[in-house]
C-alpha cells in the first residue's frame, strides 16, 4: 500500500485557503465529508482520482489546474521531455499532462497508466467537454453512463464527458493509454 502523499494534502490546503474556503464549506460544496478533506490535508490518506475531482468541483478547479496551481506559465514552450509532463494523479493511477503549465490551452493531452486493480475511484467522473483515448498496452474497463466495455491495445473510446464515466484496470498487467479532453476541464 502506498504511503499518503503529504504534498498533495498541502496543495489542497493552499488551494482551499487561496479560494477563501473553510474545510466545512468545501465539504458542503463538494459533497465530500469534512473529515475526509481534513485527513487528505493532514496527509493521513490519499484520495482516489474520483474523490479528488469531486472535492475540486467544489472550488471549482480542474485536476490539471490543481496540480499546476503553483506552476509558472511558459506559453513559448513547444517540445516536452518526459520529465516535463506534469503528474496530476497519485497512487496506482498516473496521469501525466502534456503542457500543463501552458495558459489558455484548448486541449488536454494526457499519458495515463493504471496499475493492476486500480481505478478512478467509486465516484464517477463528470466534466465539461468531450474525451477520447487510445489504449497503448494492457486493457482498461471503461464505463460511460450505462455502457461498459473492456478495451485492449489498439482500441479506443470517444464520448461526451458530461456523462458520468469511470476507468478500471481489472487485469493483472499495467494499462497505458493516451487520452485527450477538450476543453481541458479535467
Domain ranges for the chain, please list them: 6-67, 82-182
Q: Which three cell numbers stand for residue 60?
A: 471549482
Look at the block and give the residue holding cell 481541458. Answer: 184
pTM: 0.67
Most confident region among 29-43, 60-74, 147-161, 171-185 by mean pLDDT: 147-161
Q: Give the pLDDT confidence of 115-157 residue by residue, as tens digits.
A: 999 999 888 998 889 999 999 999 999 999 999 999 999 999 9
Would you call 6 helix, strand, or coil by DSSP? helix
pLDDT digits (tens, 9 = 90+) for 45-75: 888 888 998 999 998 888 877 877 665 555 5
Residue 86 CA to residue 98 CA, distance in Å, equals 7
* Cβ neighbours, 10 Å, residue 43: 15
The fold of 82-182 is Jelly Rolls (2.60.120)
Q: Which CATH number is correct for 6-67, 3.90.1150.10, 3.40.50.460, 1.10.287.110, 1.10.260.40?
A: 1.10.260.40
Residues 6+ apart with CB under 8 A from 102: 73, 74, 75, 77
**Mean pLDDT of all residues in the chain?**
88
CA 174, CA 108: separation in Å to the nearest integer? 22
Q: How far is CA 177 from the centre of its chain?
A: 14
Q: Residue 78: what pLDDT? A: 83
Amino acid at each position: 500500500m502506498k504511503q499518503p502523499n503529504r504534498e498533495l494534502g498541502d496543495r489542497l490546503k493552499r488551494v482551499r485557503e487561496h479560494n477563501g474556503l473553510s474545510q466545512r464549506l468545501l465539504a458542503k460544496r463538494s459533497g465530500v465529508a469534512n473529515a475526509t478533506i481534513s485527513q487528505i490535508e493532514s496527509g493521513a490518506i490519499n484520495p482516489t482520482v474520483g474523490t479528488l475531482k469531486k472535492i475540486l468541483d467544489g472550488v471549482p478547479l480542474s485536476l490539471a489546474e490543481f496540480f499546476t496551481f503553483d506552476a509558472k506559465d511558459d506559453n513559448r514552450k513547444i517540445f516536452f521531455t518526459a520529465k516535463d509532463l506534469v503528474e496530476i494523479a497519485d497512487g496506482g493511477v498516473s496521469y501525466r499532462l502534456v503542457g500543463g503549465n501552458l495558459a489558455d490551452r484548448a486541449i488536454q493531452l494526457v499519458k495515463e497508466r493504471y496499475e493492476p486493480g486500480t481505478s478512478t475511484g467509486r465516484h464517477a467522473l463528470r466534466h465539461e467537454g468531450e474525451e477520447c483515448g487510445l489504449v497503448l498496452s494492457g486493457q482498461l474497463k471503461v464505463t460511460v453512463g450505462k455502457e461498459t466495455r473492456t478495451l485492449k491495445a489498439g482500441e479506443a473510446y470517444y464520448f461526451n464527458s458530461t456523462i458520468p464515466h469511470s476507468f478500471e484496470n481489472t487485469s493483472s498487467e499495467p494499462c497505458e493509454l493516451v487520452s485527450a479532453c477538450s476543453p481541458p476541464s479535467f
